[in-house]
């Protein structure tokens, strides 16, 4: 076991460091300004486990102050003591402080231990073992033991890297994505609707510098949200009712500093983990963290947080405007597309920043891709939406936008582009059996969100004068903040210096990252075909938006004309009646192609062909292509449920438009 001695000059405390191999004891008094001398080439692979033994520190920490502040933030989020809560825990001082405060808050409400008599009822800590180092399993187990000592039940989950472990350049991003996917899965399995994570004010400061170095706008500079609704990649069907499980992600420590995290751990006499990889200069956040460590004086920190708060107020105002615009001017159609009433919208009267966010929300909803829209694409969309009447069509951000048929250009139709690129880990569908119907979730989350909104409604930014940085890039935000005396000249210069330092690192990797992304763009698309067969009575979720099911019935529907011929030419073959061999019958799901629509047009020439509404739907070709249909094993058309068409009189098929993420992105609060 490697050992070393570190002298912290600020506290004159001698600390002993142990690099974990089994279960070592370590006594360590950290400080915000204390930086172990880890260079880029001598970072230990194992994490460092720490514990403060300074009895004088324990007596000086005012835990009542921290508990009271935490309780206020939980009330702001709408969370009550009886609600079940999950905690994202890494074992560091941040997440250990979160465990201490959450346990105290839970027991304060007289919700004591569970039936086992050991753990606090309604709390679950989720510990993710990323499996990137040989000792990670033992470390996760030790963290679990320490969290259990607080009275919190633990769930340790090891990452399953199906496509191989992530490369060094994408390590932190890939680990974060995997971590949140596991958080959501565990919450769903345990029917927990609230997830607490330990991001704090210093994290917000790092994010501000990172985003400003990428020339982010004021909405990005506002940082992480206090609460946001994260939608699971899994869809649940309970008693034939569709439920999309989501988790309310809450960051109750955003008003706390890193120094507060250490004090809470010290004041509660709890061990924590120091991960040396968090100091590696290979990662942008680590570089910024190291630079900020030399600047986080009381004045600099308070002024930087004041700028972030001002950006938050601007974001609140923009979100309020967008929510109003969505209610007034958007119509969502059952066939899976949206229509924007340009007259009602009156885009010439809307600020660029609000209109741009509005368009982004609409396109994210239709495409079900939550990527932001930036740069030239954003400018193109703004120009398009301000041109009334609209006369042209365009493809952007996974959507096809065109004048709505019959509207004379005063309405714009937005539909999904079937061939838009998607991330490699995107799921196009998921099929469920009846056994999984037991995973139903209560209405607890809806009540929590209602409670949080009730608080938010009392803190609305109703006047644009309160939104100080409308339509400003990062440099303009800082200039305006200096002009308004939100930040001093010295703080302004320090922030600019940090930006330039990070920009130099960022530009050196831009070409490499761009070429890597470009190589993927042409290969990743929405699956236009559901490869797994769909059996009678089963349900599938297609393209992140359509719930599709079918079954056979001996009762022929009333709108079916018995004399209609069942054998018409289609794709050089005969059409197929699925009840001919119903015991062997399966169906496959795919999106519509041009030949399908031409076939329907041919059918309209036959007598008694009024049992579907294809000819009465004023859809563009692009909107038609995103509609799902059922075919047999030979690719022959069986049914297009969205328009009421079917070949077989005994077939009952349905398609319901239920997008995974709702219009507007779900509940969010930036208090």
Query: Which residue has better confidence, 232 or 99?
Result: 99
Asked if 347 and 362 touch (Cβ cutoff 8 Å), the reply is: no
561 pLDDT exceeds 80? no
Query: Which residue has better confidence, 395 or 525?
Result: 395
Task: Please choose, from the candidates 607, 610, 612, 602, the residue with its C-alpha nearest in 3D space to the C-alpha of residue 565.
Answer: 607
Q: 38-42, 239-243, 362-366, 494-498 — which is least confidently predicted?
A: 38-42
pLDDT at position 492: 95
Asked if 330 and 413 touch (Cβ cutoff 8 Å), the reply is: no
Alpha-carbon span 188 to 192, nearest angstrom: 6
Average pLDDT of span 412-436: 57
29 pLDDT exceeds 50? no
19 pLDDT exceeds 50? no
pLDDT band at 531 (very low <50, low <70, confident <90, very high): low
Place of tokens 């365009």: 394
For the entire predicted model, the pTM comes to 0.83
Q: Which residues contact 110 (CB under 8 A, 6 or more apart)?
A: 81
Query: Which residue has better confidence, 111 or 255?
Result: 255
Helix, strand, coil tally for the chain in percent (to 5)? 40, 20, 40
Asked if 669 and 454 touch (Cβ cutoff 8 Å), the reply is: no
Average pLDDT of span 64-82: 95
pLDDT at position 618: 62
pLDDT digits (tens, 9 = 90+) for 441-497: 568 888 998 888 887 776 666 677 778 888 777 789 999 999 999 999 999 999 999
Asked if 331 and 338 touch (Cβ cutoff 8 Å), the reply is: yes
Query: Which residue has better confidence, 144 or 14?
Result: 144
The CB density around residue 614, as the number of other CB atoms within 10 Å, is: 20
Task: Please choose, from the candidates 543, 533, 537, 558, the residue with its C-alpha nearest in 3D space to the C-alpha of residue 633.
Answer: 533
The H or E element containing residue 569 is strand 569-570
pLDDT band at 598 (very low <50, low <70, confident <90, very high): confident
Alpha-carbon span 89 to 573, nearest angstrom: 59
Among 364-368, 537-541, 565-569, 603-607, the range with the most confident prediction by mean pLDDT is 364-368
Query: Which residue has better confidence, 34 or 119?
Result: 119
pLDDT at position 513: 43
Query: Which residue has better confidence, 86 or 13?
Result: 86
Q: Which residues contact 44 (CB under 8 A, 6 or more apart)?
A: 2, 19, 38, 276
**Residue 37 structure tokens:** 């001398």
Residue by residue, DSSP assigns 208-238 as HHHHHHTT-BHHHHT-S-SEEEEE-S--EEE
pLDDT at position 384: 95
Kindly tell me the sign of the dihedral angle through the C-alpha atoms of 207, 210, 214, 215.
Answer: positive
108 pLDDT exceeds 80? yes
Domain definitions of the chain by residue range: 533-558+576-657
Mean of all residue pLDDT scores within the chain: 78
**Residue 420 structure tokens:** 């838009």
Asked if 34 and 10 touch (Cβ cutoff 8 Å), the reply is: yes
Question: For residues 80-105, b (16+ Cβ closer than 10 Å) or e, as one string?
Answer: eeebbbbbbbbbbbbbbbbbbbbbbb
pLDDT at position 622: 78
Beta strand 194-196 pairing with 246-250: parallel
pLDDT at position 439: 45
436 pLDDT exceeds 50? no
23 pLDDT exceeds 50? no
Q: Across the strands, what pairs with 19?
A: 48
The CB density around residue 71, as the number of other CB atoms within 10 Å, is: 17
SS3 of 632, please?
coil
Q: 14-18, 191-195, 267-271, 402-406 — which is least confidently predicted?
A: 14-18
Q: 72-81, 119-128, 225-234, 332-341 — which is least confidently predicted?
A: 225-234
**Residue 18 structure tokens:** 């142990």
pLDDT digits (tens, 9 = 90+) for 262-307: 999 999 999 888 777 777 777 788 888 888 877 767 889 999 999 9
């Amino acid at each position: 076991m490697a050992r070393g001695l570190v002298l912290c000059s600020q506290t004159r405390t001698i600390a002993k460091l142990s690099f974990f191999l089994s279960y070592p004891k370590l006594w360590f008094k950290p400080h915000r300004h204390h930086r172990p001398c880890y260079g880029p080439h001598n970072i230990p692979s194992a994490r460092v486990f720490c514990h403060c033994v300074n009895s004088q520190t324990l007596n000086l920490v005012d835990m009542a102050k921290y508990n009271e502040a935490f309780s206020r933030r939980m009330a702001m989020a709408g969370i009550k003591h009886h609600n079940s809560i999950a905690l994202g825990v890494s074992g560091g001082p941040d997440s250990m402080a979160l465990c201490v405060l959450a346990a105290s808050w839970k027991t304060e409400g007289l919700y004591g231990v569970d039936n086992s008599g050991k753990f606090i009822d309604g709390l679950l800590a989720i510990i993710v073992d990323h499996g990137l180092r040989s000792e990670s399993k033992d470390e996760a187990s030790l963290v679990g033991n320490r969290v259990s000592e607080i009275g919190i039940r633990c769930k340790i989950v090891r990452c399953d890297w199906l496509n191989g472990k992530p490369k060094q350049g994408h390590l932190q991003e890939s680990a974060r994505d995997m971590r949140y996917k596991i958080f959501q899965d565990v919450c769903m399995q345990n029917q927990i609707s609230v997830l607490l994570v330990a991001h704090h004010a210093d994290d917000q400061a790092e994010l501000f510098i990172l985003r400003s170095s990428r020339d982010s706008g004021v909405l990005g500079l506002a940082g992480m949200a206090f609460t946001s609704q994260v939608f699971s990649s899994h869809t649940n069907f309970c008693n034939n009712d569709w439920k999309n499980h989501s988790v309310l992600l809450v960051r109750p420590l955003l008003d706390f500093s890193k120094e507060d995290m250490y004090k809470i751990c010290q004041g509660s006499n709890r061990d924590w983990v120091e991960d040396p990889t968090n100091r590696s200069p290979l990662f942008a956040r680590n570089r910024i963290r190291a630079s900020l460590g030399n600047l986080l004086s009381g004045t600099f920190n308070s002024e930087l947080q004041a700028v972030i708060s001002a950006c938050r107020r601007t974001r609140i105002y923009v979100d309020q405007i967008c929510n109003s615009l969505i209610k007034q001017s958007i119509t969502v159609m059952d066939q899976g597309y949206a229509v924007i009433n340009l007259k009602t919208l009156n885009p010439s009267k809307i600020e660029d920043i609000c209109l741009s966010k509005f368009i982004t929300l609409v396109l994210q909803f239709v495409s079900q891709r939550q990527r932001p829209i930036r740069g030239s694409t954003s400018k193109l969309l703004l120009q398009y939406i301000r041109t009334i009447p609209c006369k042209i069509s365009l493809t952007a951000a996974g959507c096809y936008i065109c004048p709505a048929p019959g509207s004379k250009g005063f309405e714009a139709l937005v539909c999904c582009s079937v061939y838009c690129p998607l991330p490699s880990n995107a799921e196009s569908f998921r099929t469920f059996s009846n056994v999984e119907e037991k995973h139903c979730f209560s209405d607890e989350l809806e009540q929590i969100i209602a409670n949080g909104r009730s608080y938010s409604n009392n803190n609305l930014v109703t006047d644009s004068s309160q939104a100080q940085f409308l339509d400003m890039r990062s440099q303009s935000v800082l200039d305006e903040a200096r002009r308004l005396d939100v930040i001093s000249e010295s703080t302004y210069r320090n922030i600019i210096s940090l930006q330039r330092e990070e920009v130099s690192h960022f530009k050196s990797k831009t070409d490499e990252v761009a070429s890597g992304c470009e190589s993927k763009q042409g290969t990743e698309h929405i699956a236009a075909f559901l490869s797994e067969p769909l059996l009678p009575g089963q349900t599938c979720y297609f393209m992140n938006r359509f719930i599709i099911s079918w079954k056979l019935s001996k009762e022929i529907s009333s709108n079916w004309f018995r004399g209609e011929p069942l054998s018409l030419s289609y794709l050089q073959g005969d059409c197929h009646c699925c009840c001919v061999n119903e015991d062997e019958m399966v169906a496959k799901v795919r999106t519509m192609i041009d030949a399908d629509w031409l076939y329907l047009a041919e059918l309209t020439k036959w007598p008694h062909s009024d049992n579907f509404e294809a000819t009465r739907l004023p859809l563009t070709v692009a909107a038609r292509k995103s509609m799902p249909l059922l075919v047999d094993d030979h690719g022959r058309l069986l049914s297009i449920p969205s328009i009421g068409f079917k070949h077989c009189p005994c077939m009952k098929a349905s398609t319901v438009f239920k997008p995974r993420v709702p219009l507007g992105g779900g509940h969010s609060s930036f208090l």
